[in-house]
Amino acid sequence: MNRPLIELINVTKRYPGTIANDKVSMRVMPGAIHAVIGENGAGKSTLMKIIHGSVQPDEGQIIWKGREINFAPPQHMHALGIGMVFQHFALFEALSVLDNIHLSMPKEVARGETGNRAKAMAKRYGLMLRLDAVVGDLSVGERQQVEIIRCLLADPQLIIFDEPTAVLPPHAIDGLFQTIRSLAAEGRSVLYISHKLAEIKSLCHSATVLRGGQLVADVAIEDTPEQELAVLMTGRALPSYEHLPRTMGPVKLKVDRLSSEPRSHQEVQLNGVSFEVRAGEILGIAGVSGSGQQELFDHLSGERPSPRDDAVRIADTPVGRLSVLGRRQAGVAYVPEERHGHGAIPDLALDQNYLLSQFGTSTSWFNAMGLLKVESLRAAAQGCLRDFMVKAPDCSVTAGALSGGNLQKFIVGREFSKKPEVLLVSQPTWGVDIASSMFIRRSLVEIAASGCAIVVSSEDMDELLQICDRLVVMANGRTSPVVAAGNMDPLRLGLWMAGMFDDQSEPEVEVA
């Protein structure tokens, strides 16, 4: 059968100040895995939301199985058989995983039945699922798996994945690809968005390339080399990554047998975490997400003070019990994993979001009368937009209106421009396009070269290998020995990720 499952004709969506989609046409055949690629802010998510029904376009047509549908709300699209796994998850944080899944099920399905189906689905596709965990306690990677299961349970014919692998652990990515391939083999269609071209090459059949909201090309993946895809997306050849020579200074950040007391049983307990980072050095933290990385960053940033003051030292000063403000004063900057509601507040304007992490720094944003210096704040926020190439009309738009990658660039820019002594970065390029990823990585290396100690946690092993000097693996709240990045082979990595560290490397158990 040669009729497309879904066809878009000249779809246009305008936002104040931007045209997110400009006369975009696209067709997806049954059983096809179709990629939508483009830089941050190219309009991929917007186009997907139009198909999903959660965004209403200004012009254009959608044809589903040969019949034109009048842009209908999500419930109708859902009933037609369109499901979506969002880039920013739509889960209720206060509810359990099971409740979240149950809420999206038809009402005649009992709660127990939902649980069984979800478990079966998780097993079938090799996904991790803790049904009674509260979603608020899950790592981003785990939340994503909940979203995927929730979507698959509705048995959709067209499934949209908006950057599903951004934070998935490598083994889950393989599993997800198996899932997607078997879904396609069953005759379902998949729309797939990713910034990782290698994934697109191995998974997808065809691709729609967007640039600045416009359709640039429709290509068959087989006939198009990666390099060409990149050029189509960016309109220029990619800069090559260069290694900056760096000199290491004295130890800037020292974590010594850091242990934590979990506040809920969902939280991973840190157990004797130890490592050092020297000025000018980038230490990478590898590991399956949910192995204690979040808890570690909470303790390093000061959001959770440590029981022992000398468990965390900055330039030899114990700071373990210092608050966020105290540590910021000591030169700590932090880019959290979750952008919405942690690193930024979607409902506030960008300049307000800029102010969010400025308390405790040496710059004062308040005048002698204690009032906000609106103009200088604007100027600083505007400078951040410019220096980090954030696509936004100006700093008075809300953070929620930015595309995922652009918000990430904004947060990264905000933290980098503090010229920190110690920089904590969780998932630096999650959802960021290739060119910007390279830019962020290059900036990381430059900041290190200026004498900053950097801790980066990432699911993306290639990224860590590219920028880090040394690596440590987290598993189950414990850290492996630290090794030079060049000495990390896949076998060792696999063993360490499973928590099997060498014996002689066990941290000493003596307590001061």
Ligand X SMILES: Nc1ncnc2c1ncn2[C@@H]1O[C@H](COP(=O)(O)OP(=O)(O)OP(=O)(O)O)[C@@H](O)[C@H]1O
Binding residues for ligand X (CB under 6 A):
15, 18, 20, 38, 40-46, 87, 391, 401-406, 431, 433
| Residue 58 binds which of ligand X, Mg ion, other proteins, none (CB < 5-8 A, kind-dependent) | none
Binding mask 83-102 vs Mg ion (x if CB under 5 A, - otherwise)?
A: ----x---------------
Task: Tell me how far CA of residue 30 lies from CA of 81, 210, 330, in angstroms.
Answer: 13, 22, 57
Q: Is there binding between residue 284 and Mg ion (CB under 5 A)?
A: no
Q: Is there binding between residue 145 and Mg ion (CB under 5 A)?
A: no
Using DSSP's 3-state secondary structure scheme, residue 214 falls into: strand
Task: Return the H-helix or E-strand segment holding 285.
Answer: strand 282-286
- In angstroms, how far apart are the furthest CA atoms of the chain? 73
Nearer to other proteins, 289 or 301 (CB): 301
Residue selected from 59, 366, 379, 498 as contacting other proteins according to rule CB under 8 A:
366
Residues of 390-407 as b/e, b for ≥16 C-beta within 10 angstroms? bbbeebebbbebbbbbbb
Cα 181 to Cα 166: distance, rounded to the nearest angstrom: 18
Tokens in use for 365? Answer: 């944003």
Cα 293 to Cα 342: distance, rounded to the nearest angstrom: 15
| Residue 469 binds which of ligand X, Mg ion, other proteins, none (CB < 5-8 A, kind-dependent) | none
* Cβ partners under 8 Å of residue 164, min gap 6: 85, 144, 148, 176, 192, 194
Task: Return the H-helix or E-strand segment holding 140.
Answer: helix 140-152
Min CB(335)–other proteins separation in Å: 10
User: Looking at beta carbons, which residue is closest to Mg ion?
Assistant: 45
Q: Is there binding between residue 360 and other proteins (CB under 8 A)?
A: yes
Binding mask 73-112 vs other proteins (x if CB under 8 A, - otherwise)?
A: x-x---------------------------x---x-----
Nearer to ligand X, 292 or 428 (CB): 428
Q: Where are the alpha helices (DSSP H) in 306-419?
A: 324-329, 350-356, 374-387, 404-416
Min CB(51)–ligand X separation in Å: 12
Sheet holding 189-193, edge to edge: 67-69, 59-64, 6-15, 18-28, 214-220, 206-211, 33-37, 189-193, 158-162, 82-85
Cα 417 to Cα 386: distance, rounded to the nearest angstrom: 12
Q: Is there binding between residue 371 and other proteins (CB under 8 A)?
A: yes
Tokens in use for 271? Answer: 């157990």
Burial class (CB in 10 A: 0-12, 13-18, 19+), 442: middle
Nearer to ligand X, 87 or 274 (CB): 87
Q: Is there binding between residue 446 and other proteins (CB under 8 A)?
A: no
Among the residue ranges 194-202, 369-377, 385-393, 479-487, the one whose residues contact other proteins (CB under 8 A): 369-377
Min CB(456)–ligand X separation in Å: 20
Binders of other proteins in range 292-351 (CB under 8 A):
301-303, 323-325, 328, 334, 336, 338, 341-345, 347-348
Cα 142 to Cα 78: distance, rounded to the nearest angstrom: 24
Nearer to ligand X, 15 or 365 (CB): 15
90 backbone dihedrals φ, ψ, rounded to 5° = -115, 60
| Residue 320 binds which of other proteins, ligand X, Mg ion, none (CB < 5-8 A, kind-dependent) | none
Nearer to other proteins, 292 or 336 (CB): 336
Nearer to ligand X, 104 or 398 (CB): 398
Binders of other proteins in range 45-74 (CB under 8 A):
54-56, 73
Q: Is there binding between residue 238 and other proteins (CB under 8 A)?
A: no
Residues of 265-296 as b/e, b for ≥16 C-beta within 10 angstroms? ebbbebebbbbbbbbbbbbbbbbbbbbbbbbb
Binding mask 397-416 vs Mg ion (x if CB under 5 A, - otherwise)?
A: ------xx------------
> Angle at Cα 352 formed by Cα 89 and Cα 401, nearest 5°?
40
Binders of Mg ion in range 42-61 (CB under 5 A):
45
Min CB(413)–ligand X separation in Å: 14
Min CB(217)–ligand X separation in Å: 16
Q: Is there binding between residue 220 and other proteins (CB under 8 A)?
A: no
Task: Return the H-helix or E-strand segment holding 20.
Answer: strand 18-28
Min CB(38)–ligand X separation in Å: 5
Q: Is there binding between residue 379 and other proteins (CB under 8 A)?
A: no
Min CB(180)–other proteins separation in Å: 29
Q: Is there binding between residue 427 and Mg ion (CB under 5 A)?
A: no
Nearer to other proteins, 34 or 102 (CB): 102
Min CB(70)–other proteins separation in Å: 13
Q: Is there binding between residue 173 and other proteins (CB under 8 A)?
A: no
| Residue 491 binds which of Mg ion, other proteins, ligand X, none (CB < 5-8 A, kind-dependent) | none
168, 171, 172, 177: CA torsion to nearest 10: 110
CB count within 10 Å of CB 181 equals: 13
Tokens in use for 72? Answer: 């209908």
What is the contact surface with Mg ion in residues (CB under 5 A)? Answer: 45, 87, 403-404
